[in-house]
Amino acid sequence: MPAGRRRRGTLVESVRSFLALLAGLLLGAGALWLVLKPANDLFEPQVETIAAASLDAVRAQNRLSVFAGRFTVAVTSRAERLGFAAEKTMIVPATVKYEIDYSQLSAGDISWDPATARMVVDLPPIELSEPEIDMSDVRDYGEGAVLLTVGGANEALDRANRRKVRAAVMEEAGSELMLQMARDSARSAAARSFRLPLEAAGIPAQVIVRFPDESGSAM
């Protein structure tokens, strides 16, 4: 074989060997990058998809009751006429629901930190429903029989007591203890709604749920 042809053949083989070596190096570097790259970074696009689906499912619930409290309040009214006095006490059991309007939740209320695998969800505020009163369980007691039987005093005291009932029930329902219990219930349910789909996809995540008046909330 002529010397020129042998040199060209050797050059072609050298180029092929170099390209094969380069491809191997690139492949190895890519594999090393996948090994060294934080796993959470690889999950990020999938997390966004799952979070969006979870958000749609939660929003579809619209207004949802997350907790309920049952209260018994006692209200008293007094009337005096022509030297006579009457007093009437009404004892009323009532139920108040603690609700969240999930339709207010948006993508901007959810954030994901791949470095810590932590998702933060800012919920809308808890709202209290109107008291539900079972009139069959209402009890009342009166003093001052003379005035209660004449001049419409009995009906007037009943009306006065009914006006006081709502305020008394809402005061009980709005106590810090009851609101904290409602928040804890809502927090647990919301965290579960966003965490379980991630866990099902094999993505470890911590889900933190906040309310508007809590530190760091975006709402």
Q: What mean pLDDT, rounded, does the chain reach? A: 78
100 and 28 both lie in a single domain: no
Average the pLDDT over each of 2-16, 25-39, 190-204 and give the range with the smallest value.
Answer: 25-39
pLDDT at 215 over 70: no
pLDDT at 18 over 50: no
Structure tokens at 35: 């090994």
Average pLDDT over residues 104-118: 90
More confident residue, 219 or 75: 75
Is the pTM here over 0.75, yes or no?
A: no
Q: What is the pLDDT of residue 115?
A: 87
Average the pLDDT over each of 1-5, 13-17, 21-25 and give the range with the smallest value.
Answer: 21-25
For residue 24, how many C-alpha atoms fall within 13 Å in the half-sphere facing its CB? 6
State the pLDDT confidence band at 80, using cuts at 50, 70 and 90: confident
pLDDT at 68 over 90: yes
Give which of 125, 123, 65 is closest to 99, Cα–Cα: 65
State the pLDDT confidence band at 77, using cuts at 50, 70 and 90: confident
Backbone angles phi, psi at 15, to 5 degrees: -65, -45
State the pLDDT confidence band at 211, using cuts at 50, 70 and 90: very high
| Structural domain harbouring 106 | 39-71+92-134+165-210
High-pLDDT (> 90) share of the chain, %? 39
* C-alpha–C-alpha distance, residues 107 and 137, integer Å: 45
169 and 124 both lie in a single domain: yes
Q: What is the pLDDT of residue 23?
A: 43
pLDDT at 33 over 50: no
121 and 194 both lie in a single domain: yes
Q: What is the pLDDT of residue 83?
A: 67
Residue 159, in any domain of the structure:
no
pLDDT at 30 over 50: no
Count of domains observed in the chain:
2
More confident residue, 146 or 176: 176
Give which of 95, 91, 167 is closest to 132, Cα–Cα: 95
Structure tokens at 169: 């029930």
22 and 128 both lie in a single domain: no
Average pLDDT over residues 69-83: 85
101 and 194 both lie in a single domain: yes
Pair 98, 71: CB distance under 8 Å: no
121 and 60 both lie in a single domain: yes
* C-alpha–C-alpha distance, residues 132 and 96, integer Å: 6
C-alpha R_g of the chain:
35
* C-alpha–C-alpha distance, residues 152 and 205, integer Å: 66
Average pLDDT over residues 23-47: 45
End-to-end CA distance of the chain: 82
7 and 43 both lie in a single domain: no
43 and 25 both lie in a single domain: no
Residue 60, in any domain of the structure:
yes
High-pLDDT (> 70) share of the chain, %? 71
Q: What is the pLDDT of residue 25?
A: 37
27 and 112 both lie in a single domain: no
